[in-house]
Amino acid sequence: MTLTAGPGRPDLPTPSPADTGGAAPGLTHLPSYDDDAPQPRPRSSLGRLSPDELFVRVGSWGAALGLAWLVTQRLLPLAGLPWFLISWFVLGLVMTAVTTAMTGTRVDVTDRVTAAVITASAAFVGLALASTVIYVAVKGYKPVINLNFITSDMAGVGPRDAFTAGGVKHAIIGSIIQISIAIAITLPLGVGTAIFMTEVGGKFARVVRTVVEAMTALPSIVAGLFIYTVWILALGQPRSGLAAALAISVMMLPIIARASDVVLRVVPGGLREASLALGASRWRTVWHVVLPTARPGLATALILGVARGIGETSPVLLTSGAAGFLVVNPVGGAMNSLPLFIYTNVRSGDPVAIQRAYGAAFVLLALVLVFFIVARLLARPRSNAPSRLRRTKKDS
């Protein structure tokens, strides 16, 4: 091995171009003992699979597909698509583990199998969600395409009348009124409870957290019976949309409080410390630092609560009751909702009523989607780039 002269070694002779293969002095390649060993082919990207890895993964699941067909159709009496999919998944994990173990370590095997399980779980959830939405849309699009189904109620409409008579206007407005009142009640209470559990703490905060976690599994019928007993029987108030909103708020409150608690605990503690170090009070730190940072997560908590409350039927049935006409006043008597309309029509057993129920279910899905979009838009972080740009232009 030839040593090269450099700025720090003037006593060594400078190699000639012949010794360096025509390269410039000082850039001589120093051979190592590992030059003759095969070098691994670098990956183009950390998130992109190499052709060999892609072939192993796809080939493993392809081989598992053939083995699943052989096991379920030829070797064992496991006819049917569910058994075939289960066998394919199990054999796919086995083949993935075997092929990975041939060229990798135990860590690689665990990583590949875990990634396959997580990917399959996500695909299963997505397939279940897509199949539910598509099934409801296919079964309920016929009533929805008639404009009167959205713009009219069921006043004076018989159960066997066609779709051109009657609609779900009263149920849509009733659901919007009830869920709006429930949001106005539960959002400040839920977020305030989460702030108390996260920012204040103490022994009582642990008790509150335990109660909130226990209430997340509260049956909806229990919430309806609670409001019916307290609000209607004990206080003598009539059955109304307000009573239904109170029952729905009982269902939404633990969901929003628990999800908000998790979101607020994720906010970095350094932000709180920096705000307090600048002289801000604990309240101003929560209001101007913690809550704006956690706003997207709080919107997700609100969406979870709305999704839980807007589909409840038994609390509305106990506290409000069904009405076939439009009621706008929350304390003006029975107020219908979309879940209760669906339950009433499906329970009748008439084919036309069942078709109306599918149409109302499709409208309910669209209403939940609208609430989701509105919540996400309100939770988007405000961009201060234009104002900063204007200030920069003024300063210049």
Reference 208, options 153, 257, 249, 273; nearest CA is: 257
Task: Tell me the HSE value of 169 on the side-chain side, using a 13 A CA sphere.
Answer: 17
Reference 325, options 317, 336, 316; nearest CA is: 336
Residue 287 has pLDDT above 50, yes or no: yes
Lookup: tokens for 222? 């229990």
- Judge residue 324's burial from the number of C-beta atoms within 10 Å of its C-beta, 0-12 exposed, 13-18 middle, 19 or more buried: middle
- The answer to whether the beta carbons of residues 53 and 45 sit under 8 Å apart is no
Residue 345 has pLDDT above 60, yes or no: yes
pLDDT of amino acid 44: 46
Instruction: Tell me what the mean pLDDT of segment 323-342 comes to.
Output: 87
pLDDT of amino acid 258: 92
Instruction: Tell me what the mean pLDDT of segment 282-291 comes to.
Output: 90
Encode pLDDT of 32-49 as tens digits. Answer: 545 555 555 554 445 577
- The answer to whether the beta carbons of residues 344 and 157 sit under 8 Å apart is no
Residue 232 has pLDDT above 50, yes or no: yes
Cα distances from 158 to residues 146, 152, 297, 324, 345, in angstroms, run 17, 14, 46, 10, 12
pLDDT of amino acid 333: 83
- The answer to whether the beta carbons of residues 205 and 196 sit under 8 Å apart is yes
Residue 157 has pLDDT above 60, yes or no: yes
pLDDT of amino acid 30: 52
Residue 161 has pLDDT above 50, yes or no: yes
Instruction: Tell me what the mean pLDDT of segment 268-297 comes to.
Output: 89
Instruction: Tell me what the mean pLDDT of segment 142-164 comes to.
Output: 76
Average pLDDT, rounded, for the chain: 82
Residue 326 has pLDDT above 60, yes or no: yes
Reference 212, options 250, 263, 255, 247; nearest CA is: 255
H helices of the chain, in order, are: 51-70, 81-103, 106-144, 148-151, 169-195, 203-215, 220-227, 241-266, 269-277, 282-285, 291-293, 295-309, 314-319, 338-348, 351-378, 385-395
DSSP 232-243: IIIS-PPP-HHH
Domains of the chain (ranges, CATH numbers): 51-134 (no CATH), 169-380 (1.10.3720.10)
Give the CA-trace dihedral at 183, 185, 189, 191, to 10 degrees. 20
Instruction: Tell me what the mean pLDDT of segment 56-62 comes to.
Output: 86
Residue 3 has pLDDT above 50, yes or no: no
Instruction: Tell me what the mean pLDDT of segment 47-54 comes to.
Output: 74
Report the distance separating Cα 23 and Cα 2, nearest Å: 14
Lookup: tokens for 221? 């019928």
Question: Which of the four pLDDT bands, split at 50, 70 and 90, describes residue 173?
Answer: very high
More confident residue, 47 or 330: 330
pLDDT of amino acid 202: 81
Question: Which of the four pLDDT bands, split at 50, 70 and 90, describes residue 81?
Answer: confident
Cα distances from 60 to residues 26, 65, 70, in angstroms, run 50, 9, 15
Between 94-98, 374-378, 387-391, the lowest mean confidence (pLDDT) is in 387-391
pLDDT of amino acid 80: 84
Residue 329 has pLDDT above 60, yes or no: yes
Instruction: Tell me what the mean pLDDT of segment 108-125 comes to.
Output: 90
pLDDT of amino acid 179: 93
Lookup: tokens for 298? 């709080």
Q: Is 67 left (phi over 0), alpha (psi -120 to 50) or beta?
A: alpha
pLDDT of amino acid 192: 92
Percent of the chain at pLDDT exceeding 70: 83
Residue 27 has pLDDT above 50, yes or no: no
How many residues does the structure list for the chain? 396
Question: Which of the four pLDDT bands, split at 50, 70 and 90, describes residue 178?
Answer: very high
- The answer to whether the beta carbons of residues 22 and 31 sit under 8 Å apart is no
pLDDT of amino acid 1: 46
Backbone angles phi, psi at 313, to 5 degrees: -115, -50
Packing angle of the helix pair 169-195, 241-266 (nearest 10 deg): 40
pLDDT of amino acid 385: 45
Instruction: Tell me what the mean pLDDT of segment 348-362 comes to.
Output: 86
Q: Is the dihedral of CA 332, 336, 337, 340 positive or negative?
A: positive
Report the distance separating Cα 140 and Cα 144, nearest Å: 7
- Kindly report the pTM of this predicted structure: 0.73
Instruction: Tell me what the mean pLDDT of segment 293-299 comes to.
Output: 89
pLDDT of amino acid 388: 46
- The answer to whether the beta carbons of residues 189 and 215 sit under 8 Å apart is no
pLDDT of amino acid 395: 52
